Chains A and B, each alone.
Chain A
Amino acid sequence: MNGLISSIYSFYEGMGMPAALLPLLPFLTLIAAVFLAFYLATRLLVKKKIMHEKTASFYRFVSVWIVGFLLFTVGPMIFSIYISFTKWEVVSDPQWTGLDNYRTMFQDSLFYKSLSVTFYYTIVSVPLQVVLSFAIALLMNLRLRGIYVFRTIYYLPTLVQGVAQMVLFIWIFNPNVGLVNSMLRLAGVEGPGWFSSPHWSMPAVIIMSLWTVGGNMIIYLAGLSDIPRSLYEAADIDGATASRKVWHVTLPQISPILFFNAVTSMIGAFQTFTQGFMIEGGPDNSVLFYAYYLYQNAFMWFKMGYGSALAWVLFVIILIFTALVFRSSALWVYYETDQGGRRKRRVRATRP
């Protein structure tokens, strides 16, 4: 395969193609050949009346995804399982070591550390995010003057993402002149060292994650606007108080969205990376997130085998937790049995 690629490469090189395009051209050529072959094969099948035109079209269109799926997902997955059983530093050939990588993991204190850091973050931040964003959504659902402006303001922080957000919060949590400690000083409290303290760096990361609950808020808001008014009217007639209406009408109605959100937030939390990277794991590895530790192994120390083993363990952990949340959903998620017509979900943050 590598020989083929390099011979196509030198062919284009000989044709005087610009250097920046050269890595792309062999790949494009091979992919084009694959699609052409597939197209011709399906055309032949249609001509021989073995395949319907519609079927052929479907598979031609979907082949765009299938080829990518094989190339960027299935292939890598199989390869990843294989290298997780090897010792491989990229420059040499991989050496089969059986279960060694997995065994190493059990004695690797940093593995346990990164795991506990990631669990700590997930278990604390995800419920906080879900509850806070839901509470804010309830507030934002009130028909008040200027509520659209508030929605926009609460949503704005989600536009500061990744590196920029971390840069901002490293500054906000600056122990001496940062915003948080300045505020605490006004209240007469000497704030902790946050990102320079092994105990306080994780709370800082969690607080930072709460700044961007606006995204989830909008999702809940859309769900809230879909709850049939008749349910509230019925509750009114029964003389229900506002809090009882939230508990008996709003919550059951919105629980599927709450559930969906909890699952996606949890999966996202398990994969937290940038926060760990930007402060290099934090003091005493206090924010050594699992994904960051994986990155360190694979791309700083070039332990591709060990990195792959770590990746598979992460996958299994995510699967188990997702399954658990799904299991628990029977207890607290309410699905309507008779689904009416599809209702349109639309919500605006501000006036158009």
Chain B
Amino acid sequence: MSAPQGRKHKSRKWLAYPLLFAGAALFLYPFLWMISASLRSLEEIARSGMGVWPEHWRWSNYAKALTVMPFGRYLVNTLLTTVFPILGTVLSCSLVGYAFARLKVRGSGFLFVLVLSTMLLPGEVTMIPRFILFKNLGMLDSLYPMIVPSFFGSAFYIFLLRQFYARLPVGLEEAAIIDGCSYFKIWLKIFLPLSKPALMAVGVMVFMSSWNSFMDPLIYINSDKWKTLTLGLAGFQGTYATDTNLLMAAAVVITLPCIVLFFAAQRAFMEGLTFSGSKES
């Protein structure tokens, strides 16, 4: 009874292919369309309909799109608001996560619950007072509001790293403690290097959110000097909405680093994603 049924399942599996291909076309097509539009002339865009193959590959669109806005400056600003938050988040959350995982003392359980509870608080609640705070610190219209808070840890990544450290073997630091090593040194020399995969995952997640971050730069930055790429693209959409080809070129350029990072650090990507959805952790 069970043998023929097993064969039946196997044969039915192949029926999934048409569905898979149809879905893939649906998910991929906007992507291809974006790229092809970025390579066309406006006139060609207007008459090309659904086609994705450009008649003439106008790479000059990219050169033009990048000169419409001060691309280099925006890129540097975006990199600054991405690299520093990665550094800050990884270091602070690793240290705090290590403390929660390996230094069980009185009050640590309560504090950890406090950390978790902050995840429920929507950013909108603290948005306005934070703006006032940074205004009083003289940090408006600078990149600091996007960078500074990351050095004080953030709940989700602390949680993620704590789980990672808690799973490491119990006796790991014993020898070091007997040798009189300080807890800070144990973190620095043992736990920090050991957690490279988890730190990579955190780094990738912070990259994605900082690189694409829009609301914070929008609130804090006024002058062109400090604008980030997302602000530049939004402004571009506002002023040159009809230059579709250039807009698409700019959108492709902004997305490209994320795609490159995805293919370069796929394991870190997946680890972070699967972690964020797992039930027991």
Contact of A278 with B99 in the complex, beta carbons under 8 Å = no
CA gap between A345 and B275 in the complex, in Å: 8
With A139-B20, A223-B278: A347-B270 Cβ-Cβ less than 8 Å: yes
Stretch in A100-108, A109-117, A198-206, A291-299 touching the partner = A291-299
For chain B, what secondary structure do more than half of its interface residues adopt (helix, strand, loop), or is it mixed?
helix
**Docked-complex contact B152 and A350, CB < 8 angstroms:** no
Complex Cα distance A68/B114, Å? 13
**Complex Cα gap A304–B127 (Å):** 10
Interface size class of A (residues with CB under 8 A): 35 or more
Kindly list chain B residues whose C-beta atoms are within 8 Å of the C-beta of A242: 9, 12
Q: How many chain-B residues does the 8 Å CB contact rule pick out?
A: 108
Q: Given A62-B99, A136-B23, A346 and B270 touching (CB < 8 A)? A: yes
A163 B95 Cβ-Cβ under 8 A: no
* A61 and B96 in contact, given A139-B16, A239-B1, A257-B277 (Cβ under 8 angstroms): yes
Cβ A298 vs Cβ B127 within 8 A = yes
Please give, as numbers and ranges, the residues of chain B lying within 8 Å of A218 by CB-CB distance: 270, 273-274
Contact, CB under 8 Å: A58 / B108: yes
Instruction: Tell whether, in the assembled complex, residue B270 and residue A267 are in contact, meaning their CB atoms are under 8 Å apart.
Output: no
Kindly state whether residue A342 has any CB partner on chain B within 8 Å.
Answer: yes
Asked whether, in the complex, the Cβ of A57 is within 8 Å of the Cβ of B182, the reply is yes
Complex Cα distance, B217 from A274, in Å, reads 12
Contact A57 B20 (CB under 8 A): no
Contact A62 B13 (CB under 8 A): no
Contact of A171 among B100, B218, B247 (CB under 8 A): B247
Alpha-carbon separation in the docked complex, A239 to B111 (Å): 50
Q: Which of chain B's residues have a CB closer than 8 A to the CB of A307? A: 128
Q: Which of B50, B137, B183 contacts A26 (CB 8 A)?
A: B137
Q: Is the CB of A350 within 8 A of B266?
A: yes
A182 within 8 A of B: yes
When the two chains form their complex, are residues A186 and B237 in contact, meaning their CB atoms are under 8 A apart? no
The tally of CB-CB contacts under 8 A between chains A and B is 314
A45-90 interface (Cβ within 8 A of B)? 52-55, 57-62, 64-69, 71-73, 75-77, 79-80, 83, 90
Q: How far is the CB of A306 from chain B (nearest CB, A)?
A: 10
> Which chain A positions have C-beta within 8 A of B99?
57-58, 61-62
Chain B residues 140-177 with CB under 8 Å of chain A are: 142, 144, 148-149, 151-153, 158, 167
Contacts of B128 in A (CB 8 A): 76, 80, 83, 298, 304, 307-308, 311
**B136 lies within 8 A of chain A by Cβ:** yes
- Cβ of B103: which chain A residues have Cβ within 8 Å of it? 54-55, 57-58, 61
Which single residue of chain A is at the shortest CB-CB distance from B140? A23
A139-178 contacts to B, CB under 8 A, are: 139, 142-144, 150, 153-157, 159-164, 166-172, 177
Q: Are A65 and B92 in contact (CB under 8 A)?
A: yes
- Bound together, the chains give a CA A26 to CA B136 distance in angstroms of 11
Q: How far is the CA of A216 from the CA of B144 in the complex (A)?
A: 32
Question: In this assembly, does B60 line the interface, its C-beta being within 8 Å of a C-beta of chain A?
Answer: no
Assuming the contacts A172-B33, A257-B278, asked whether A271 and B212 have C-beta atoms less than 8 A apart, the reply is: no
On whether the beta carbons of A160 and B105 are closer than 8 Å, the reply is no
**Inter-chain contacts of A223 with B (CB < 8 A):** 277-279
Q: Which positions in B face A, CB cutoff 8 Å?
A: 1-2, 5-6, 9, 12-14, 16-17, 19-20, 23-24, 27-31, 33-34, 37, 45-46, 48-50, 92, 95-96, 98-100, 103, 105-106, 108, 111, 114-115, 118, 120-133, 136-139, 142, 144, 148-149, 151-153, 158, 167, 182-184, 187, 208, 212-215, 218-219, 230, 233-234, 236-237, 241, 244, 247-248, 250-251, 254-255, 258-259, 262, 266-267, 269-271, 273-280
Q: Chain A interface (Cβ within 8 Å of chain B)?
A: 1-2, 5, 9, 20, 22-24, 26-27, 52-55, 57-62, 64-69, 71-73, 75-77, 79-80, 83, 90, 136, 139, 142-144, 150, 153-157, 159-164, 166-172, 177, 179, 182-183, 185-186, 211, 214-216, 218-220, 222-223, 236-237, 239, 242, 256-257, 260-261, 264, 267, 270-271, 273-274, 277-278, 291, 294-295, 298-299, 304, 307-308, 310-312, 314-315, 318-319, 322, 339, 342, 345-350, 352
